[in-house]
Structures are given as C-alpha cells and as structure tokens.
Structure 1
C-alpha cells in the first residue's frame, strides 16, 4: 500500500492523529514522492547525456561532467527525501560571495 493511501485512510477515518503518527505518515509520503521524482529525473538524464557520433572528445567530457553534477543533485534529493528531519546538504565550494 502506498504512503498516500495510508495517509488518506488515516485522515478520513474520523479520529485525530497523534502528532508523532502524523509525522511518520508524512515522512513516508515525502520519502516515496522523493524517490519517484529522483527516479524520473534520472531516467530523463540518462538519455540526454549519451555519446553521439557527432560528439568530440571535449564535448563528451563536458557532457560527462554535467551528467556527474546532475547525478550529485539527484543523490542529494534522494538523501533529503529519506532523511527523518530534512536539512539541506552543505555547499561543495568555499565561495563566500
């Protein structure tokens, strides 16, 4: 049973939810939606960054670097969706501006 249907049933059965119970249900829903969204993004990126016959070595290196950065964002999205208390990941560069 999906997290959405469990949450829907819990909200419509007529008794109020305890805060801890509601928090668990919402966390499960966030994790499920985050995983589905990350999978969808990953499928879209895998076709976009394939090597073609027209690509030079330099163009393919740029594609590969862009794909790697995109996958790091997707990985951070997955971690954020799975976290019990979501926090944003730390910035990868030390720029202060």
Structure 2
C-alpha cells in the first residue's frame, strides 16, 4: 500500500491517530512524494542534453555541465526526501539588529 493510500485511509476512518504513527505516516508520504517528484524531473531532463548534429564540442560540454548540475540538484532533493526527520522549526525571538 502506498504512503498516500495509508494517509488517506488514516484520515477517512474517523479514528484518532497516535502522534508517533501520524509522524511516521507523514514521513513516509514525504519520502514517497520526494522520490516520485525527483524521478519525474530526471525523466524530463533525460534526452534534452544529448549531442545534436550541429553542436560544437564547447556547446556539448556546456550541455553536459548543465545536465550534471541539474542531476546533482535532483539527487540532493532525493536525499532531502529520505532525511530521517524534517527540519526543526526556524522561527526565533532574536532580533536581527
């Protein structure tokens, strides 16, 4: 059963969820959604940066560099989605002056 289906079932049963179970469900949903999004972005990037007949060596190197940068971002996104816990709350009372 996918994480989305588990969350939907938990929300529609009308029963209260244990807080730790809710946290786990949300973490699973975050992981699944992050992986699906990263896969979709990688699929969109695939084929856009190949060598074309009119490309010079310089143009192809730039395409390869751009593709590598985009894939590093996609992989960082995957790692973020797999992180064991979400980021802590960032609001503080401190003054910026």
* Range of TM-score over shorter length: 0.7 to 0.9
Query: 1:31 — aligned with what?
Result: 31
Corresponding residue for residue 59 of structure 1: 59
Deviation for aligned residue 1:86? 3.5
- Please, what TM-score do these two structures have when normalized by structure 2? 0.85
CA–CA distance in structure 1, aligned partners of residues 70 and 8 of structure 2: 33
Query: What is the deviation of 1:12?
Result: 1.4
- Residue 40 (structure 1) aligns with: 40
Give the count of matched residue pairs: 87
Aligned twin of 1:80: 80
Gaps of 5+ in 1: 88-97
**What residue is the counterpart of 1:10 in the other structure?**
10
TM-score by length of 1: 0.85
Q: How much does 1:14 deviate?
A: 1.7
Offset of residue 49 of structure 1: 0.5
1:77 CA displacement: 0.3
In 2, distance between residues paired with 1:45 and 1:7? 30
1:19 CA displacement: 1.3
Alignment deviations for residues 12-53 of structure 1 (CA, whole Å, 9 cap, x no partner): 112111111001001111111111110111011111111111
Larger radius of gyration: 2
Provide, for residues 64-85 of structure 1, a one-character-per-residue CA deviation record: whole Å limited to 9, x for no partner. Answer: 0011100000000000111121
| Structure 2, unaligned runs of 5 or more | 88-97
